[in-house]
Amino acid sequence: GDSVTQMEGPVTLSEEAFLTINCTYTATGYPSLFWYVQYPGEGLQLLLKATKADDKGSNKGFEATYRKETTSFHLEKGSVQVSDSAVYFCALSDSNTNAGKSTFGDGTTLTVKP
């Protein structure tokens, strides 16, 4: 079945540091890939997405590129802020097999210190 593996956390960075959160996936079809963010006490928010190989998703300074050859979708940001502290989830959705069902990684907790 489909699966998503994220780098283990927690991750603690100083403000303005470079962020990378690794994500690899296994899927039977040709999935869309997503990064979601969850702030304390809230639901998940879509951060960015990519729907086919070599697509780059970007939003709020975050970027991730859909790499089919390495089955990866690593999240990056050049300069993190304290307000980026949250839990980040990598996810995939494959309409060929499980429309409306997303498979999530375990989440990576990011803490940014001033």
Contacting positions for other proteins (CB under 8 A): 29-32, 34, 36, 41-46, 49, 51-52, 89, 92-96, 98-107
Max CA distance (Å), the chain: 44
Task: Give the Å distances, CA to CA, from 15 to 19, 39, 51, 66, 80.
Answer: 10, 18, 31, 27, 6
Q: How far is the CB of 33 from other proteins (least distance, A)?
A: 8
Q: How far is the CB of 78 from other proteins (least distance, A)?
A: 25
State both tokens at 12. 């603690």
What is the Cα–Cα distance from 50 to 56, expressed in whole angstroms? 6
Please identify, using beta-carbon distances, which residue of 19 and 93 lies nearer to other proteins. Answer: 93
Please identify, using beta-carbon distances, which residue of 17 and 55 lies nearer to other proteins. Answer: 55
> Quick count: other Cβ atoms within 10 Å of Cβ 99?
8
Q: How far is the CB of 70 from other proteins (least distance, A)?
A: 18
Please identify, using beta-carbon distances, which residue of 84 and 94 lies nearer to other proteins. Answer: 94
